Amino acid sequence: MGLIQEIDYATKAPAGTAMVTLTIDGERVTVKDGTSLLRAAMEAGIKVPKLCATDMLDSFGSCRMCLVEIEGRAGTPASCTTPAAEGLVVHTHSPRLARLRRGVMELYISDHPLDCLTCSANGDCELQDTAGEVGLREVRYGYAGANHLAAPVDGSNPYFQFDPAKCIVCSRCVRACEEVQGTFALTIGGRGFESHVSPGIDESFLASECVSCGACVQACPTATLIEKSVVEHGQPEHSAVTTCAYCGVGCSFKAEMRGETLVRMVPYKDGKANRGHSCVKGRFATGYANHPDRIVKPMLRARITDPWREVSWAEAIAHVSSEFRRIQAQHGTGAIGGITSSRCTNEETYLVQKLVRAGFGNNNVDTCARVCHSPTGYGLKTTFGTSAGTQDFDSVEHADVVMIIGANPTDAHPVFASRLKKRLREGARLIVVDPRRIDLVRSPHVAAAHHLPLRPGTNVAVLTAIAHVIVTEGLVDDAFVRERCDLATFAEWAAFVADPSRSPEATEQATGIAAAALRAAARLYATGGNAAIYYGLGVTEHSQGSTAVMAIANLAMATGNLGRPGGGVNPLRGQNNVQGSCDMGSFPHEYSGYRHVADAPTRHAFEAAWGVALDPEPGLRIPNMLDAALDGSFRGLYIQGEDIVQSDPDTHHVTAGLAAMECVVVQDLFLNETANWAHVFLPGSTFLEKDGTFTNAERRIGRVRRVMAPKAGYADWEITQLIARAMGMAMDYRHPAEIMDEIAALTPSFAGVSFARLDALGSVQWPCNDAAPEGTPVMHVRGFARGRGNFVVTEYVPTDEKVGPRFPLLLTTGRILSQYNVGAQTRRTANTVWHEEDHLEIHPHDAEQRGIREGGWVRVMSRAGETSLRAHITDRVAPGVVYTTFHHPETQANVVTTEYSDWATNCPEYKVTAVEVSPSNGSTAWQAEYDAFTRRSRRIAAV
């Protein structure tokens, strides 16, 4: 196993199919029309020296190393900016070219430290390689002239350093920041000899707008921008391609190793979700894997007030088995259940639901999608027939109009956001429907055509009003509807939305959106060309979450924006494998592939495969489990890789439910908040420590590859298997590949998936079966999964969570770029430098009325609870709306959120909580008690 070296073709591959043939160094070469000579040569295996070119970036033509001669043409043009043309005869090496290149290289080296042996890029330096390629043997200018060698190193960023002494001012970092990331944080300051890379306006990297995505580091051909981990450990010596364990974009990375030490994560160019890009989390925030907080031994305790006692795996597993069986014997088969993890692999998730259904003998299994995208599952299955987004991420490159609803991609799905921003810079139009002025509304070279800052809780009214405009202004794609959709439901829906009561004017007061603005946005969506909708938890986490998803599906069907690249309905899934956990049958009412447990043929297939009779009744969802715990009928819970105390709503209700249980088993990397209420702790494994697959938001199944041994001895799937065996199940998989084989055998949409196929293709998007052996990038191309598209009437029902004199503000929650979900991973990395605590965003008007100052402590009170945190005064939120994140347990934002939930799925209404905010002196009494309780709960008895 060596280091995976990707070929740098120096310039991008052009689109199109026309080909041209030319001759390079005597070889006839056929390439796509528009290919640069530099790339054409590289495709033919001829490496031309180059420094400023790399195939992630547009050609630049500044370094003068890739000069060539072309017969019949004068001069020595840069091959990176000269397109190949039919019949050209090109020479890449000649005495003249060699002389020119050496001369240029002498100039570079005359202002470069000659410290190659001690340089951290030694062995991975393009400048060093190029000097060798051009045969540099001397520097006639000497080294005593004016130079930049004394320029200080900027080590402000926690993950990489900037050493301007080593910079050759090739601009690759600046262009990467612009073209790939789209942040425009870097520039070249000064002119001539004074030219230098400048973060912001000559600020440090940390102080600048830099979002630490790593694109500049990746692009740098020298040691100027380099990972501190490489400086510390040296160059990696082997690598494996794996899938990131943060967010639903599912970026492919090379995990580059030295022994069992992870040196760095480098985005994989062939990764079809990320196309070689990354964000600060996936690129750098892996420090949690070796954090001293990792628990690596199983632990037990009789009561949650006791200290933990480290035990052997055998004792822990035996205890879990005996306790679960005891509870079932005393309180019934349905008295226990499990929660699968959207951070674990498909194979691990599948095993947990199998353990529950076949081992526990009930369907009490649920997953974190309950609190995020369960409405997507319900809504898209009802309208289209399958519970997933319709497009691949590449589709955005074909979009002419993009509508973002209730999502904040630059923070929560940053790599997709970079791809989106690139398309917007190319001219696509943007509509943002969000109560907050998210970054995409206006950021460098991106400006939304329309921002509809709706009042939280009114999504359905806004979406239905958009539909009203489309129907009443004759903007429906009649041909698409006639050919592809159920005409009866369309007629019912069209009549419903056309009613004047659903017009933008009629709903303006409720939504807060000016009718003219809404009409303009609706017209743009319906008439602007390929129109894509991307949405997030701002759509689903409402009492009408499922209705809003169906309203989105209605819009896409009515305008014919389905079944082809550039359009579609695209839920931006939150966690790395939340799509997969749903696909794998984590919901209590359905098996893998979204088939209801009451469906007899499906159930019989699972019964035959698993050799056990299965319950045909749906099981308990997470909030129902907690309710049942309080009434005494649910007493044991196996939680793999979720932290429901921090992530689920109404913390008091969650903890009361857990406290009522007799055996709570938490399997995680750390003693998370839920573990405070656990009786058994089973130490889990990181994505670096196991094999498997994740499925991202575009249904792409990507491999997770083990690069180090599990610190606690077992991968998570092995732990589930140990429990299953202890409870009497015959479960003896030797490798996750065997689990995937079972999934494929029992799940039609996965029938063609195997580790062998994934290894061959890199990744596949389900459905992957005989009809689509290489997967399905765009769904519903010839027809909907359910046959004809189903329009659904979406009556707006205002939430019961209403503002009033006691609670006059609306709280909505979200996440931030540098932190991930409950923060269990990212809080244990240097990412805390950007976000060490949660803040409350409040509008200046609301702050002034309450005497709140910037950075001051404020108390946030709802009818569910109260917490304190620091205020950030900003007009990013509208008057009457406040916003916070939920990354830090010290804040516990969910102590404030309520039990209101989506009518169809019980997905919590995180996005609307009526609150009051007032100045405070610091933490609340509850926070202080909780902190003390947590400290007590995490005690581990001395052995």
Name which of 106 and 492 has its Cβ closer to other proteins: 492
Q: Does residue 797 interact with other proteins by CB under 8 A? A: yes
Of 184, 313, 834, 903, which lies in the binding site for other proteins, with binding defined by CB under 8 A? Answer: 903
Q: Which residues pair with 861 in a beta bridge?
A: 866, 916
| Rounded CA separation 60/12 (Å) | 12
Determine contact, residues 828/843, Cβ cutoff 8 Å: no
Name which of 544 and 885 has its Cβ closer to other proteins: 544
Of 607, 627, 741, 742, which lies in the binding site for other proteins, with binding defined by CB under 8 A? Answer: 627
Q: Does residue 383 interact with other proteins by CB under 8 A? A: no
Q: Considering the complex, what minimum distance in angstroms separates the CB of residue 645 from other proteins?
A: 20
For residue 442, the tally of other CB atoms under 10 A from its CB is 12
Q: Is 443 helix (H, G, I), strand (E, B) or coil?
A: strand
Token pair, residue 189, equals 């300051």
Q: Considering the complex, what minimum distance in angstroms separates the CB of residue 546 from other proteins?
A: 8
Q: Considering the complex, what minimum distance in angstroms separates the CB of residue 543 from other proteins?
A: 7
Determine contact, residues 246/308, Cβ cutoff 8 Å: no
Window of 248-256, 292-300, 635-643, 789-797 that interacts with other proteins by CB under 8 A: 789-797
Of 79, 489, 862, 906, which lies in the binding site for other proteins, with binding defined by CB under 8 A? Answer: 906
Of 250, 619, 736, 789, which lies in the binding site for other proteins, with binding defined by CB under 8 A? Answer: 619
Provide the residue type at 912 as one letter: V
Of 362, 367, 559, 721, which lies in the binding site for other proteins, with binding defined by CB under 8 A? Answer: 362
Name which of 106 and 899 has its Cβ closer to other proteins: 899
| Rounded CA separation 351/742 (Å) | 10
Helix (H) or strand (E) holding 626: helix 622-630
In the region spanning residues 482 to 501, those forming contacts with other proteins, defined by CB under 8 A, are: 496
Name which of 199 and 657 has its Cβ closer to other proteins: 657
Of 138, 631, 732, 770, which lies in the binding site for other proteins, with binding defined by CB under 8 A? Answer: 631
Provide the residue type at 168 as one letter: I
Q: Does residue 897 interact with other proteins by CB under 8 A? A: no
Q: Considering the complex, what minimum distance in angstroms separates the CB of residue 590 from other proteins?
A: 9
Total residues binding other proteins (CB under 8 A): 35
- The answer for 261, left when phi > 0, alpha when psi is -120 to 50, beta otherwise, is beta
Q: Is 694 helix (H, G, I), strand (E, B) or coil?
A: strand
Q: Does residue 880 interact with other proteins by CB under 8 A? A: no
In the region spanning residues 236 to 265, those forming contacts with other proteins, defined by CB under 8 A, are: none
Angle at 190 between CA 108 and CA 147, to 5 degrees: 35
Q: Does residue 267 interact with other proteins by CB under 8 A? A: no
- CA 512 and chain centroid, separation: 30
| Rounded CA separation 44/28 (Å) | 9
Name which of 79 and 363 has its Cβ closer to other proteins: 363
Name which of 8 and 627 has its Cβ closer to other proteins: 627
Q: Does residue 375 interact with other proteins by CB under 8 A? A: no
Q: Does residue 123 interact with other proteins by CB under 8 A? A: no
Name which of 46 and 630 has its Cβ closer to other proteins: 630
Q: Is 843 helix (H, G, I), strand (E, B) or coil?
A: coil
Name which of 526 and 558 has its Cβ closer to other proteins: 558
Token pair, residue 329, equals 């014997």
Name which of 329 and 941 has its Cβ closer to other proteins: 329
Q: Considering the complex, what minimum distance in angstroms separates the CB of residue 605 from other proteins?
A: 19
Question: In Å, what is the CA distance from 411 to each residue of 110, 280, 290, 440?
Answer: 42, 10, 25, 10
Of 260, 473, 617, 837, which lies in the binding site for other proteins, with binding defined by CB under 8 A? Answer: 617
Question: In Å, what is the CA distance from 678 to each residue of 518, 659, 660, 727?
Answer: 49, 9, 11, 20
Name which of 364 and 655 has its Cβ closer to other proteins: 364
For residue 836, the tally of other CB atoms under 10 A from its CB is 12
Name which of 76 and 362 has its Cβ closer to other proteins: 362
Helix (H) or strand (E) holding 451: strand 450-452
Of 329, 447, 598, 608, which lies in the binding site for other proteins, with binding defined by CB under 8 A? Answer: 598
Q: Does residue 615 interact with other proteins by CB under 8 A? A: yes
Of 82, 364, 647, 937, which lies in the binding site for other proteins, with binding defined by CB under 8 A? Answer: 364
Token pair, residue 559, equals 């305008």
Q: Does residue 507 interact with other proteins by CB under 8 A? A: no
| Rounded CA separation 59/79 (Å) | 9
Q: Does residue 459 interact with other proteins by CB under 8 A? A: no
Q: Does residue 899 interact with other proteins by CB under 8 A? A: yes
In the region spanning residues 632 to 651, those forming contacts with other proteins, defined by CB under 8 A, are: 633
Name which of 55 and 902 has its Cβ closer to other proteins: 902
Name which of 489 and 923 has its Cβ closer to other proteins: 489
- Provide Rg for the chain, Cα atoms: 29
**Spatial CA neighbour of 230 closest among 529, 239, 738:** 239
Determine contact, residues 521/438, Cβ cutoff 8 Å: no
Window of 94-102, 178-186, 260-268, 628-636 that interacts with other proteins by CB under 8 A: 628-636
**Spatial CA neighbour of 269 closest among 180, 183, 172, 178:** 180
In the region spanning residues 270 to 309, those forming contacts with other proteins, defined by CB under 8 A, are: none
Provide the residue type at 750 as one letter: F
Window of 126-134, 350-358, 896-904, 935-943 that interacts with other proteins by CB under 8 A: 896-904
Window of 625-633, 730-738, 743-751, 863-871 that interacts with other proteins by CB under 8 A: 625-633
Q: Does residue 786 interact with other proteins by CB under 8 A? A: no
Q: Does residue 382 interact with other proteins by CB under 8 A? A: no
Of 295, 431, 448, 620, which lies in the binding site for other proteins, with binding defined by CB under 8 A? Answer: 620
Peptide bond into 152 cis (omega under 30): no
Encoded one letter per residue, x for contact with other proteins by CB under 8 A and - for no contact, window 309-348 reads ----------------------xxxxx-------------
Please state the three-class secondary structure of 504-520 as a single string. Answer: HHHHHHHHCCCHHHHHH
Name which of 313 and 903 has its Cβ closer to other proteins: 903
Please state the three-class secondary structure of 898-933 as a single string. Answer: CCCECCCCCCECCCCEEEEEEECCCCCHHHHHHHHH
Q: Considering the complex, what minimum distance in angstroms separates the CB of residue 642 from other proteins?
A: 19
Of 232, 795, 837, 929, which lies in the binding site for other proteins, with binding defined by CB under 8 A? Answer: 795
Q: Does residue 628 interact with other proteins by CB under 8 A? A: yes
| Rounded CA separation 909/899 (Å) | 7
- CA 883 and chain centroid, separation: 21
Q: Which residues pair with 27 in a beta bridge?
A: 24
Of 543, 640, 667, 831, which lies in the binding site for other proteins, with binding defined by CB under 8 A? Answer: 543
Residue 930: what are its φ and ψ, rounded to 5°?
-65, -40
In the region spanning residues 677 to 736, those forming contacts with other proteins, defined by CB under 8 A, are: none
| Rounded CA separation 379/376 (Å) | 5
Q: Considering the complex, what minimum distance in angstroms separates the CB of residue 720 from other proteins?
A: 23
For residue 934, the tally of other CB atoms under 10 A from its CB is 15
Angle at 598 between CA 592 and CA 601, to 5 degrees: 70
Helix axes 95-110, 126-133, angle to 10 degrees: 140
Q: Considering the complex, what minimum distance in angstroms separates the CB of residue 795 from other proteins?
A: 6
Q: Does residue 904 interact with other proteins by CB under 8 A? A: yes
Question: Given the DSSP bridges, would you call strands 913-919 and 857-861 parallel, antiparallel or unpaired?
Answer: antiparallel
Binding site residues, other proteins, CB under 8 A = 331-335, 362-364, 496, 543, 547, 588-589, 596, 598, 615, 617-621, 624, 627-628, 630-631, 633, 793, 795, 797, 899, 903-906
